């Protein structure tokens, strides 16, 4: 399970999205997922960031063809 994604060439100056952080007008990031269909078809790692608000859960942002650093949720 992905906990955090950092998007950009230089992680120091990049955007970061973390599960549990606020997003959009009234949403909270609830999941970050690898687009497995794109990976299987093209070998490219694209990601979708999902938020939850009063209307429910929906895709909020897509990361397509960008360099990323992934931090997994490692609960021991």
Segment 8-61, tens digit of pLDDT: 988 888 999 999 999 978 899 999 999 999 999 999 999 999 999 999 999 999
Beta carbons within 10 angstroms of residue 26's beta carbon: 11
**How confident is the model at residue 75, as a pLDDT?**
75
Gap between the Cα atoms of 19 and 25, Å rounded: 16
Gap between the Cα atoms of 26 and 12, Å rounded: 27
**How confident is the model at residue 11, as a pLDDT?**
82
**How confident is the model at residue 25, as a pLDDT?**
82
């Amino acid at each position: 399970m992905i906990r955090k994604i950092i998007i950009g060439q230089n992680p120091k100056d990049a955007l970061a999205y973390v599960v549990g952080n606020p997003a959009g007008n009234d949403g909270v990031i609830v999941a970050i997922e690898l687009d497995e269909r794109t990976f299987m078809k093209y070998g490219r790692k694209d990601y979708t960031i999902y938020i939850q608000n009063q209307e429910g859960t929906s895709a909020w942002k897509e990361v397509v063809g960008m360099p990323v650093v992934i931090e997994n949720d490692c609960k021991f």
